[in-house]
Amino acid sequence: MKKYMGKGVYSAIAIGRISVFKKKDLAVKRMRCEDTETEKKRVENAKNLAKEQIGTLYEKALKEVGEANAQIFEIHMMMLDDEDYNESIDNIIDTQKVNAEYAVAVTADNFSEMFLAMDDAYMQARSADIKDISNRIIANLTGIKSEGNQLDDKVIICADDLAPSETVSLDKDKVLAFVTAHGSSNSHTAILARNMNIPAIIGVGDAFLDEIRDGQSAIVDGYAGEIYLEPDEETMQEFVLKQQNDEEHRKLLQNLKGKENVTLDGTKINIFANIGGVDNIGAVLANDAGGIGLFRSEFLYLENSDFPTEEQQFTAYRKVLESMAGKKVIIRTLDIGADKQADYFGLKKEENPALGMRAIRICLTRPEIFRTQLRALYRASVFGKLGIMFPMITSESEVRKVLEICNEVKSELKQEGIEYSENVELGIMIETPAAAIISDKLAPLVDFFSVGTNDLTQYTLACDRQNPDIENFVDTHHEAILRLIEMSAKNAHKNGAWIGICGELAADTTLTETFLKMGIDELSVSPSFVLKVRDVVRKIDINK
């Protein structure tokens, strides 16, 4: 058994045999051609054929992945008609007196380089589209059959990389999974795999390609982004079981995806997802969460050996906002301290770290760290719908100080002529009893509350989260906690703010009805719980 790692772009498990996807050999030779008119005519014919082929792909994609995703092939058609692209091909044939294949290949290189040079990840990915259409023309010119790779059985397709047209042209019923040695998670192929509900792993590397042969048995674990080549008995059993559980979840998904989070009596609630890094966005979208209720920014600090720069943070925040395409994303400012430590912060050893220098306390003591994060957040705010949430609040003065710093950061950006959105929602975590008790004073200052039930429980019941010996004393349904949440909800609503719950209690479906009755506006849970909670919500009648 051998194991390879890449990046999972669609979380599911596939077990089956490998089929190596063979690329047509499109090595193009430069040849001298005096009869330029014939060459230009050949390009014209190859292009017309390409348009027909892409038209067929468009129809297929329309059925399999929907209009929004099929549109890429419409764009491909238009690219084929692009004046500059065509002029460039003709021009190369005329001036250099070369064969059509060569002229198309050179043009493809030039145009794809133009896109690669742009400072925008989306536009950079368009270079793959240029290559895709150009390779199709070249294949037509050389007479190589373009839709090769006939599949007999259900197989795991392994390739160097796949163009969108190659992905869609494969017979979906015969593909168990995609595994590519290269490619990016923003590529259309990754997006198409997601929409075709096919487990896919990208970027596994060349070593994997060298190792595989047609017919080898393999397990594709799209959750972990891992591939097991010729798995042993034990691994096989483990994944057969996982696959079964997966199937049950998928049924839930099919029944509930796209459905509203609404109770029998018509009460609506938002169900968002909690994530701890950019890598989890796929799971958020796959589970149909309405937004991100808690994006923990700690990973930026914990994965680094020094303070992450403004640019590093900006890139991550922008990515999550762009990926969520206008859905709400609530990012929590750094929550380092207590159980989450990064050496370079140089925090002192504490007797009682949970009651010590952590989260907003670090930010207010060392505002330069906080400002860097806020600048990155505000700069990213123009790329989606951002909310910023501050952890470990205990007093009004802390909130005022935080808001003051936010305003300073904004005017600083304005002075520098850097754009930011004026519609960023600001909220605080309710995770200390103090914050809940004075929530009437805090609510007028902010747009929203988010209850962090894990810490709220620890601080209210005086029970250390890290100590397993006192587990029996931790009653997460303790009336004191529920009262604090209810009190916060009332005060939020009185002041026109909304309130969500982002701790573990949000996914506790025995409390969903209680939360709905309190008027909680949003529950934010791990991506895999989104549909379970939705399922429960849709069966509740709060009037009963």
Partner 1 sequence: MKTFNYTIIDELGIHARPAGMLVKTAKDLDSEITLTKGDKTAGASKLMMIMGLGVKKGDTVVVTIDGGDEEKSYDVMKDFFESNL
Closest distance of CB 127 from partner 1, Å: 11
Min dist. Cβ of residue 162 to partner 1 (A): 19
From CA 451, how far away is CA 33, in angstroms rounded?
73
Amino acid present at 15: I
Q: To the nearest whole angstrom, how small is the minimum distance from the Cβ of residue 501 to partner 1?
A: 28
Single out the residue of 148, 266, 326, 444 in contact with partner 1 (rule: CB under 8 A).
Answer: 326
- For the chain, the farthest-separated pair of C-alpha atoms sits apart, in whole angstroms, at 89
Can you name the residues that pair with 274 across neighbouring β-strands? 294
How many separate helices (H) and strands (E) can be counted in the chain?
22, 16
Q: Which of 225, 293, 384, 527 forms a contact with partner 1 (CB under 8 A)?
A: 384
**Span between the terminal Cα atoms of the chain, in Å:** 56
* Token pair of 354 as six digits: 């949970």
* Residue 422 DSSP one-character state: T
Q: How far is the CB of 180 from partner 1 (least distance, A)?
A: 22
Whole-number minimum distance, CB 330 to partner 1, in Å? Answer: 18
- Region binding partner 1 by CB under 8 A among candidate stretches 162-170, 229-237, 305-313, 376-384: 376-384
Spatial neighbors of 267 by CB under 8 A, at least 6 apart, are 516, 542
Contacting residues for 89 by C-beta, under 8 A, at least 6 apart: 43, 100, 103, 104, 107
Active-site choice (33, 158, 406, 502): 502
Q: How many CB atoms lie within 10 A of CB 28?
A: 18
By CB under 8 A, the residues from 477 to 496 that bind partner 1 are none
| Catalytic (active site) residue 463 | no
Q: Which of 25, 120, 232, 469 binds partner 1 (CB under 8 A)?
A: 120
Torsion of CA 132, 127, 170, 150, to 10 degrees: 40
Q: Is there binding between residue 318 and partner 1 (CB under 8 A)?
A: no
- CA–CA gap between residue 87 and residue 93 (Å, rounded): 10
Report H helices in 170-292.
Answer: 188-195, 206-211, 233-256, 281-286
**Of these residues, 188, 249, 406, 493, which one is catalytic?**
188
Stretch that binds partner 1, among 16-24, 70-78, 170-178, 424-432 (CB under 8 A): 70-78
The pattern of x and - marking residues 27 through 46 that bind partner 1 according to CB under 8 A reads --------------------
Give the integer Cα–Cα distance in Å for 248 and 239: 14
- The answer to whether 232 contacts partner 1 (rule: CB under 8 A) is no
By beta-carbon proximity to partner 1, the closer residue of 215 and 326 is 326
42, 126, 328, 332: which one contacts partner 1 (CB under 8 A)? 126
Contact mark string toward partner 1, 130..169, x via CB under 8 A: x---------------------------------------
Q: What is the DSSP letter of 476?
A: T
CB of 83 to partner 1, least distance (A): 5
Give min distance, CB of 476 to partner 1, in A. 39
CA distance 304 to 336: 13
Stretch that binds partner 1, among 26-34, 126-134, 251-259, 300-308 (CB under 8 A): 126-134
Enclosing H/E stretch for 500: strand 498-501
- Which residue lies nearer to partner 1 by CB, 129 or 521? 129
Q: Which residue of 115, 239, 448, 498 would you call a contact of partner 1, by CB under 8 A? A: 115
Tell me which residue of 227, 211, 229 sits closest to 8, measured CA to CA: 227
How far, in Å, CA of 529 to CA of 508, rounded?
Answer: 9
Is position 493 annotated as part of the catalytic site? no
Query: What is the distance between the alpha carbons of residues 498 and 492, in angstroms, rounded to a whole number?
Result: 6
Task: Sort strands 226-229 and 448-451 into parallel, antiparallel or unpaired.
Answer: unpaired
122 or 473: whose CB is closer to partner 1?
A: 122
Three-state SS at 75: helix
Pattern of binders to partner 1 over 73-112, x per CB under 8 A? -xx--xx-xxxxx-------------------------x-
Closest among 505, 401, 490 to 451, alpha carbons compared: 505
Q: Closer to partner 1 at the Cβ: 307 or 383?
A: 383
Separation of CA 532 from chain center: 20
CA atoms within 13 A on the CB side of 337: 22
Nearer to partner 1 (CB atom), residue 77 or residue 463: 77
Rule CB under 8 A: say whether 122 interacts with partner 1. yes
- Token representation of residue 288: 């149909």
Of 278-286, 321-329, 354-362, 518-526, the segment contacting partner 1 by CB under 8 A is 321-329
Considering CB under 8 A, how many residues would be counted as binding partner 1?
29
Which x/- pattern over 414-453 shows residues binding partner 1 (rule: CB under 8 A)? -----x----------------------------------
Query: Which residue in the set 325, 339, 366, 494 belongs to the binding site for partner 1 (CB under 8 A)?
Result: 325
Q: Which of 25, 119, 152, 471 binds partner 1 (CB under 8 A)?
A: 119
> What residue has token string 């470990």?
392
CB of 477 to partner 1, least distance (A): 41
**Residue from 178, 383, 390, 449 binding partner 1 (CB under 8 A):** 383
- Helix (H, G, I), strand (E, B), or coil: what is residue 107? helix
Read off the DSSP letter of residue 485. H
Residues catalogued as catalytic: 188, 502
- Site residues for partner 1 per CB under 8 A: 71-72, 74-75, 78-79, 81-85, 111, 114-115, 118-120, 122-123, 126, 129-130, 322, 325-326, 382-384, 419
